[in-house]
Structures are given as C-alpha cells and as structure tokens.
Chain A
Amino acid sequence: MKVDDALHQLHRFPHAILITIDIQGYPLAVATEFRVQGRTLTLTPVNTGSISPGDTQNAQVVFSHIHPLPGYGYDERAYIELTGSLSIGKDDWTFTPHRARGWDEKTLPFLELCERALPQARRYMRMLSQERGEPVGPRMGWGWKLFNATRAPFLTATLVPVGLGLAAAAYDGPFSWKLAGLTTVGAIAAHLGINITNDIFDTRSGADEINVTPTMFSGGSRVLQYGLLSMSEMSALAGACYAVAIGSGLALVAQSGTGLLGLGVAGLLIGYFYTAPPLRLVHRGLGELAVAAGFGPIMVLGAYYVQRGHYALWPAVLSIPVAMFVMLILYANEIPDRIADARAGKRTLVVRFSPGTVVKGYATAASAAYGTVAAGTAAGILPAPTLASLATIPLAVRVTRGINRHFDRPYEVMQSLQDNIVLHLSTGALLIGGVLAARRWGRSRPAA
C-alpha cells in the first residue's frame, strides 16, 4: 500500500493509535485524535504517565475498523498501519509516515487475502519442519483429500450425459442394468482422472499457482497448492482412476463391440490433453470445445452404444444441449480464473474475448442449446416431452445477468457459477425425464 493512498482513506477512521517503543523495549500503544495535513498527521498529545514518548524515527500510527454483527461475528474489517517519525511539539505532535501497510476486506476479499498469503504459510511450515526434523503440514483425512483432489461434486457433468445416453438406449430397446453400472463406473473414473491430471498440469504450467482468486468452482482443487497431497500422490491417484476407466472401457468393448473403442480412446485423449502437453487444448482456446465433445456426444453416444451395439443420430442430437451446458459450466468458471490463466498462457475463450463478448457468447450458446431441443422436437428427431427442458430458460437468463453484473468480482459471481451448474443438471434431468416419459407412455418418435 502506498502512503498517499493510505492517507486518503484515513477519514473513515474515528481515531488513531500511536505506538512507540518504551525504554524497556515494549511497544506502547495509545489512542489519540488525528488530522491529516498534507503528507503528515497532526496528533493530539497523549498522556502515558511517566513513560511518555519522545521524538523518534520509529513510530507507528494504526487505524482499525470492524463492524460487529451480534450472534454472528463481524464484517467490514479494515486497518491501516503507518510507520514513520514522530515529532513532539508543545501543542501538537506531528507524525510523518514513510511506509504503509493495510487491508480492507471490501477491496481485497478475505479468501483472496488467504490465497495471497500461501507463500508465508508454506514458509512457516517449512521453518517448523526444519526446527523439528520432521515434516509439518496441514492435516486432513484421506476421505476429504480424495473428495477435494477429485473434485467429486463436478461428477454431475458425467452423470447427466451418461444418464441421457442410457435413457435414449432404453427408449430404443432392452436395457441392461449391469452394463449401465459398468458404463457409469468407467465414465466416473475417467472424469475423476481427468480432473486430477488437469490439476497436475495446471500446477506445472503455473496457472493454479498464480491464481489468487480461486472459488469452489474454479482455480482447481488446490490440494497441491495447500500441500495436502504431493505431485507423486496426485499422479498415482490419476493413474488409478485411468486404470479403472480403461479396464471398464475394455470390458464394455468386449461386451458391446469394437465400435466403442474409438469413442472411448477419443474421450480419454481429449480429457488428458485438455491441459497436458504437447496439445494443451485449453491453452489454445479449444478447451471449451473439448469439454463439450467429451461430456456431450462422446458420453451420450458411448452410453447408448454400450446398450444398443450401434450408434444413432437422435442421441447425438440429444447430446447437443448437454454438451452446450457443460461447456458453459467451464466457460463461466473461467471468468474468475481469467487473469491467472492469461498470465500462465492459458488462453481460454474467456481470456481471448472481451467481457461483453463473453456474456454474449454465453447467451448465444444457451440459446443454441434450447434451439436444438425445440428444432429437434419440431423435426420429430427428439421425443416431444424433452421440450420440458425449456423450463430452465429463466435460470439461464438469471445466470447470464449474474455473470454480466459480477464479471469482475470473483466471489460475487460464485452464486451465478453455482446456478450454472444447477442449469446443466436440471436441463439434463428434464431431458432424461422427457425421454423416459416418452418411453413410458409409448409415444413413438419418427425414425431419424
């Protein structure tokens, strides 16, 4: 903080605290009145008994504010610490600041303050480790570590397209719960593996390291940044997930046919090279397309193929809305990350576009998703009950407005990011419900 900036903010504080060091070497702090006069402060003389401060080059004047919230705690925390010289006059004392430090949670949210302080936390724990001759770090149960590292709550992005593919397959013929279970396990394992490799390569590229505004929806899992897991542990975890995914995939190929192989390999490669070199799809502005393909047509058609043993056009059309909405999850989540992403050379679409274009892009993609459902049913490709998914349009409008309003405020935009995930989930659920309703009520769909 610059001294001039600090001086301009002092009018907010009702009093100051003058601090000097007494003859016994203790800090001596006492509240006083103050006036800002140019680049100095005029202080009302204080009485500290027999240990009065004298002229010194080493004085502090501190200002602190807090707003109590009975029954909760407090908010509106702010403080400014000025360090400088104190001159004792007959009627007034003059303080000339040389250095300023401070924090105002209105301008620097507490969560960002914590992220900016990560290097100090690592330094302190390293120091404790050296003192004790054993590693000192944050502790967390393995369950929570896995929950964080895999970003398990994002599994809705997998469950929706797999569910949609399975529903479409059930619409078209007999259904195997055993194959459905194996499909789901394989898809979940692939997704978790992709999430972990994404963290590994975002850490290596520096994108997650320099991100000081992560939210619960963006900025990675932070388990590497917080020292909860090591890079080798993350790699082993990713390997285990990929092993389960590949094993499940091969078992499904054996059951359903080799036609699944290409789709499965494409899905894994897209997921892995999303952040991994040399392709780094997300660094090239192709990440959004990759996610749309992976969590849209690839998963929907894969789940369909497992049950039916062939591909079809109508599940591909059905996958387009969920592909759009899962892409929009990533797209919106890139908004709070965009500054760190740009610095790390991760040139996502949100980094490349202006804020206005980003918001227009969101609205256009969401409109295209709904347009696909409407056109698909009008053309007789999709069952009519899938039109129920249009009920989420008001939520899409709310998200669009939210990201537009809070584009530059990472923590305020979080509600819109959460709504965006609900949008994908609810639209997907209504599409699945529409397909299952059409199957249940025996409404026929013209052959596509």
Chain B
Amino acid sequence: MVQMPPDVVNLLNAALTAELTVIDKRERMYTDPLIPMWDGRHILMTSSVLFSRKLERIKANPKVSVSLNDPVACPVTPFLRATIQGDARVIDGDIHQDWERLLPLWTAKEPSVSKLMRFRFALPLFWERSVIEITPRRALVWPGGDTTQTPDIFDLSEDAA
C-alpha cells in the first residue's frame, strides 16, 4: 500500500473544509465544500440526503478530486496546498447510522456536531447521511502553497506500490 505523504496527512487532519469536485454523466463538474477526514487509508466525507446530488454523480462517475488550498480553512505550518485525485464510492447501506462511525473524526473538527446531534429529531433529514470514501490515486503538493511552482506529484495508486 502506498503511503499518503505525511505533510498531506497533516493537511487533511487540520482542514476544516476541502473542495470536492465530482463529474456528472455529461462531463460537467460540480464542486462543493465538505469536511475531509482521513482514516489512514481513505479520505472520508459525509453528505446528507438533502444535498445528495453529488452522491448520484459519484455513483455514475467515481473520479473525483479533493482540493486543500485555503490557509484559513487548512491551518498548517508551514503552509502547503494539495490536490488529491481519487476514486470515490458512496456508502449508504444504512443512511441512518452507517455514517455515525465518522462522528469521532467529525466532532474533532466541528465540536458543535455532538450538541446538534441531541436535537436530531428537529432536523431529521439532515442526519440521514451517506459516507463518501475516496481511495487516493494521485496527490499534487505545492510546498509553501505557491501554485506557480512545479508541484511534487505522488502516485498513490495500488499499481505504484
């Protein structure tokens, strides 16, 4: 198994949001800010059924990218920018509770989630969610965040191992 570069892991762990870009059947791109989580092997995100178009698009075309570029949302020192391309799959066997395994990672970044969960009855559809599991294929990293410079490119596919 190819290892994600440690600097990128730090970035993923620190990032409050990342931009997930998906592509629909007609090759049109759609980008949404989501909270990225790293489980040591996959980038994980979660999406409510309310905002599930991205899930439909991923099911039709799993090729996605996750962009970490905002020094405010990704507070690491020294700063760097990264884009990770990968193959996504939607885990929605049980939209009521499959995603709850992400709660420790999610609440670490957004502590208010545990409080909001107590009022789950008030906004029930928001808490019916799917997990987006992204297997990284390639990472482009710009040390210092300067994207005019040549990036370090890491092939993370299984074939490269």
- Taking Cβ atoms with an 8 Å cutoff, the residues of A that contact B are 15, 17, 19, 21-22, 24-32, 44-50, 58, 60, 62, 64-68, 71-74, 77, 79, 81, 83, 101, 111, 114, 117-118, 120-121, 123-125, 127-128, 136, 138-140, 144, 147-148, 216, 226, 228
- Complex interface: chain A residues within 8 A of B113 (CB): 73
Q: Are A47 and B124 in contact (CB under 8 A)?
A: no
Which of B5-13, B28-36, B38-46 contacts the other chain?
Answer: B28-36
Q: Are B148 and A120 in contact (CB under 8 A)?
A: no
Quick one: given A117-B50, A117-B51, A128-B92, are A66 and B72 in contact (CB under 8 Å)? yes
Q: Which of A26, A139, A144 contacts B65 (CB 8 A)?
A: A26
Name 29 A/B residue pairs within 8 A (Cβ), A-sorted: A19-B67, A26-B85, A27-B23, A27-B31, A28-B65, A28-B83, A29-B83, A30-B83, A31-B70, A32-B147, A49-B153, A60-B21, A62-B21, A66-B16, A66-B72, A73-B109, A79-B32, A79-B33, A83-B28, A114-B123, A120-B51, A121-B52, A127-B56, A138-B124, A139-B128, A140-B124, A147-B121, A216-B122, A226-B124
Quick one: given A47-B147, A68-B75, are A19 and B121 in contact (CB under 8 Å)? no
In the complex, how many residue pairs between chain A and chain B have their CB atoms under 8 Å apart? 172
Nearest neighbor of A16 in chain B, beta-carbon distance: B69
A64–B67 CA distance with the chains assembled, in angstroms: 11
Distance in Å: Cβ of A219 to nearest Cβ of chain B:
12
Quick one: given A29-B67, A114-B123, are A44 and B148 in contact (CB under 8 Å)? yes
A21–B151 CA distance with the chains assembled, in angstroms: 17
Quick one: given A30-B83, A68-B16, A114-B126, are A74 and B65 in contact (CB under 8 Å)? no
A226–B123 CA distance with the chains assembled, in angstroms: 9
Q: Are A81 and B30 in contact (CB under 8 A)?
A: yes
Q: Are A27 and B33 in contact (CB under 8 A)?
A: no
- Complex interface: chain A residues within 8 A of B81 (CB): 30-31
**New A-B contacts (6) at CB < 8 Å, excluding given A58-B27, A72-B112, A74-B17:** A47-B151, A49-B150, A58-B29, A64-B17, A64-B73, A127-B56
- Complex interface: chain B residues within 8 A of A77 (CB): 33
Q: Are A26 and B64 in contact (CB under 8 A)?
A: yes
B104 at the interface (CB under 8 A from A): no
B76 at the interface (CB under 8 A from A): no
- Complex interface: chain A residues within 8 A of B51 (CB): 117, 120
Quick one: given A15-B69, A121-B125, A226-B124, are A27 and B21 in contact (CB under 8 Å)? yes
User: Chain A binding site: helix, strand, loop or mixed by DSSP?
Assistant: mixed
A148–B50 CA distance with the chains assembled, in angstroms: 20
Distance in Å: Cβ of A336 to nearest Cβ of chain B:
16
Q: Are A27 and B85 in contact (CB under 8 A)?
A: yes
Distance in Å: Cβ of B78 to nearest Cβ of chain A:
16
Q: Are A66 and B151 in contact (CB under 8 A)?
A: no
Q: Are B111 and A73 in contact (CB under 8 A)?
A: yes
Q: Are B67 and A17 in contact (CB under 8 A)?
A: yes
A97–B65 CA distance with the chains assembled, in angstroms: 21
A29–B151 CA distance with the chains assembled, in angstroms: 12
Quick one: given A17-B69, A47-B151, are A27 and B29 in contact (CB under 8 Å)? yes
Q: Are B69 and A31 in contact (CB under 8 A)?
A: yes
- Complex interface: chain A residues within 8 A of B52 (CB): 120-121, 123-124
Complex A-B, nearest 8 residue pairs according to Cβ-Cβ distance, in ascending order: A29-B67, A31-B69, A73-B110, A27-B21, A124-B52, A117-B50, A27-B65, A26-B85
Q: Are A49 and B70 in contact (CB under 8 A)?
A: no
Q: Are A138 and B128 in contact (CB under 8 A)?
A: yes
- Complex interface: chain A residues within 8 A of B150 (CB): 47, 49
- Complex interface: chain B residues within 8 A of A66 (CB): 16-17, 33, 70, 72-73
Q: Which of A47, A49, A64 contacts B148 (CB 8 A)?
A: A47
Distance in Å: Cβ of A331 to nearest Cβ of chain B:
24
- Complex interface: chain A residues within 8 A of B53 (CB): 120
Listed residue (A31, A65, A111, A138) with the most chain B CB atoms within 10 angstroms of its CB:
A31
Q: Are A136 and B95 in contact (CB under 8 A)?
A: yes
Distance in Å: Cβ of B153 to nearest Cβ of chain A:
5
Q: Are B147 and A124 in contact (CB under 8 A)?
A: no
B55 at the interface (CB under 8 A from A): yes
Q: Which of B49, B50, B63, B92 contacts A27 (CB 8 A)?
A: B63
B4 at the interface (CB under 8 A from A): no
Q: Are B28 and A58 in contact (CB under 8 A)?
A: yes
A21–B122 CA distance with the chains assembled, in angstroms: 40
- Complex interface: chain B residues within 8 A of A31 (CB): 67, 69-70, 81, 145, 147
Distance in Å: Cβ of B89 to nearest Cβ of chain A:
15
Per-residue contact bits, chain B 99-112, to A (CB 8 Å; 1 contact, 0 not):
00000000001111
A128–B122 CA distance with the chains assembled, in angstroms: 23
